[in-house]
Structure 1
């Protein structure tokens, strides 16, 4: 039997692969959009998401070890799937509004997950904080890009 940390890591990685289902023409469209002048950290975004996913998986591991609760694991997977859906939804529909909606919904579900996890483990809840910090930044950036590119709403 595989250790739970490995299973959680594999599931996290498998779900994260969903964000790579992108068409080059859609990426090209996105790269042509105007960005806010303050968006100077765009090259760090892959590293930021890597940290967010590692922290989320670590949080899930702690919760699993304490509860063996499949419902909570499904909720972790749902939040990650929503995070991963952001790029395909935004790019396939070529709609910054849709990206903003997915980002906002992901934040709300991440907040709910954090409150569900808090009574189980304060550390597991703290490990979700990077997502709760980054998600609104990413969502606001997408919203701001919509303002700069109204034809792409």
Structure 2
């Protein structure tokens, strides 16, 4: 069977996408914020500590680590004692104290401190909770910031991840 050039190009793109998706480490987050910020990362880390679930997308810079993006959620009230299963978190939920359940952060060397607006919608799904060092956690997240005058207002960030518990 002869493959037409347009099909060959399409097959090449598809094969490249599949091979890139299979890698254990590194990647790039997506969404409209990527036109303003570089959201490429070397690895993802997941941690559950003091009632907060956090997934950090990090890069190495010399002897330090840059947090390209951190997605965190207050989950203490959602977890029964000893629970380690999957979790689906509404990051935009407003808690009793008036704060949102989720937060987005960034900490990159030689870059001004960045704040992000509140979330209009957002979700974080993990297939299992981080419980032991070296454990691999897979999941996905998506956020849309509220409309307004902030640089990131109305913009989006999303991605899937395979994170390691440090």
> Which TM bucket (shorter chain)?
under 0.3
TM-score, with length taken from structure 1 = 0.22
**Which structure's residues are more often strand, by fraction?**
2
- When Rg is computed on C-alpha atoms for both structures, the one with the higher figure is 2
Flag the structure with more relative contact order, 1 or 2, with Cα contacts below 8 A and sequence separation at least 6. 1
TM-score for the superposition, normalised by structure 2: 0.21
